[in-house]
Structure 1
Amino acid sequence: MADRAWVRLPSGRRLDLLAPTPFDWTDADLATGLARTFRWGGHSAWPEPLSVAQHSLSVLALRRTRTRHRLAPAQELRELLHDADEGLINFDCISPLKPFLGPGFAELQARLSGVIATRYRLPSWTPEEKRAHKVVDIAVAAAEAVHVVGWTATEVRETLGIRAAVMARDPLAVRYGDAPWRPWAPDAAAQRFLEELTALQARIG
């Protein structure tokens, strides 16, 4: 039997993880994958784990409020899809583990990120944009560590090495009417992510 490096997606399409193309998944496949891929190793102080889909929407929402100039739709789409490769492989690796997975895993991530950028016509990051994104991404991570997983603010600084202040306000709670920082069920996360993805693509045209 030939080695199989492809996975069957909910749409029925096949994604070859070692030789992906921009046409191997639907938007709904991506939304479902991100909604079923969990941050923090799947650990949570809530009954549900936190999905990468919800995290991605949080980063986009916070980035919108922390920019001097309104982001263009393509820039917002790039924020929404910053972890999209994780939804295709259904794995969000915690940072301390990545060095043990070696360069092969990094190459796999880069390959998937490349076809995602091509599929959605994402602009390249400028150094300033990348820095602004990382500030927001880290701020969301610090808040998740405390409000979702159960770390203390001191542990976030001393153990995780994150210096960002821990936000109290959930950037998504008002919009969706949920309890602040409560992880969403996968179906809700997929639907909300897909709605945002579809709306941004419509704005881009």
Structure 2
Amino acid sequence: MSPVEPSTAKGAATRARLLDVAARVFAEKGYGAAKFSELISESGLTKGAFYFYFPSKAALARAVIDDQERRWVAEVQQRVLAQATPTQQLADVMPAMLELLAREPGAWSVVRLVRELGADAGLADDVVKPMDAWIALVAGIIRDGQQAREFRADLDADGLATVLVGAFDGIKGLVDSTSPEDREQRLTRYTGILGDMAFAELGILAHPRDL
């Protein structure tokens, strides 16, 4: 049974609130430790009303991932594409994502849900799909940079974008699975190193954080 897409503004607002509540709980406890009864209780709805929107914890978790990733991609894309050049755009992708992680209380839910659900053979395919939008965004910037002769023309834009997005996602998972102390600072440090490596591969000598 698939989640219901509300047909009214009130229903859409309720669904959005449930996703925000679930994102916060999943960020705090992870998928395995978060009980479906707790998620229902936190929402303030009756069990029947909650089931109308999300019939299972797995369906809710997939919806949280889709919602968070969709919002993130839209916000990051709007911000980075406002930069003047492809070099500046690519340099701003990771800082924009880091700011979202620091600002959104439920943002870490995606990191934990992707890690936990990705290990489930029955759910892994649905978890991987949202990453396609990130890869497309980064690959598009790389291609624009190649056309503008800012980046090396011989690079595989899709391949490099896949490696960068996968590496960034892996760093998030690694940081989240270790000590929570100084989590944001460590994430910034490690992704800064990733950015330096990416720009070296692109043939750009300028330090990305200096652009």
Structure number with greater CO (CA < 8 Å, separation at least 6) is 1
Relative to its length, the structure with more helix (as a share) is: 2
State which structure, 1 or 2, has the greater radius of gyration over its C-alpha atoms: 2
Say yes or no: TM over 0.5. no
- TM-score band by shorter chain is under 0.3
TM-score (norm 1): 0.28
